[in-house]
């Protein structure tokens, strides 16, 4: 299974009649794959603009799988943030939290600040502001525990 297969299987599970059952089945398959492929496949959902109104649900599930599985992250953070600027649904907090958990909250915020110094569209600026918003709750540890618990309960296995 490659990254594109992961993306397609996730979309198929979301569009199917037994969504959570299929998501759990996919999660169990992902546990057996190379973590780099898993990360590439799940992050690609945040960069894909082909699903229109379905992107919130798609990204929520991809983010939930990232939080639940916590695959290693050996990618270019700046590039991934830049790729997310036009398509990330800003209500899906799992993306910035996954990145922060893997490379450090301060590192994500530094990269966001660095990108913000560039010439950007209004949409891109709003997206960067939302990264900052999600990564600056008053009680970060509590926020992480709540999110982890939510996805551990939703995606048992």
Helix (H) or strand (E) holding 43: helix 35-47
Cα–Cα dist 99/66, whole Å: 9
Look over the chain and give the mean of its residue pLDDT values, rounded to a whole number.
Answer: 92
Exposure of 33 in the CB half-sphere (CA atoms within 13 A) = 21
Cα–Cα dist 148/99, whole Å: 14
**Which residues are CB-neighbours of 69 under 8 A, at least 6 positions away?**
27, 30, 31, 38
pLDDT in tens, 22-48: 999 999 999 999 999 999 999 999 999
The pLDDT value given to residue 110: 95
Cα–Cα dist 92/61, whole Å: 9
Give me the residues of the chain with pLDDT under 50, please. none
């Amino acid at each position: 299974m490659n990254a594109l297969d992961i993306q397609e299987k996730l979309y198929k599970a979301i569009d199917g009649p037994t969504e959570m059952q299929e998501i759990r089945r996919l999660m169990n398959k992902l546990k057996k794959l190379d973590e780099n492929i898993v990360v590439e496949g799940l992050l690609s959902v945040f960069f894909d603009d082909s699903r229109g109104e379905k992107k919130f649900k798609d990204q929520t599930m991809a983010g939930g799988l990232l939080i639940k599985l916590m695959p290693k992250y050996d990618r270019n953070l700046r590039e991934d943030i830049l790729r997310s600027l036009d398509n990330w649904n800003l209500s899906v907090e799992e993306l910035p939290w996954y990145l922060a958990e893997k490379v450090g909250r301060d590192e994500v915020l530094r990269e966001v600040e660095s990108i913000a110094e560039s010439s950007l569209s209004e949409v891109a600026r709003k997206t960067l502001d939302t990264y900052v918003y999600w990564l600056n709750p008053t009680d970060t540890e509590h926020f992480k525990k709540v999110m982890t618990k939510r996805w551990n309960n939703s995606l048992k296995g």
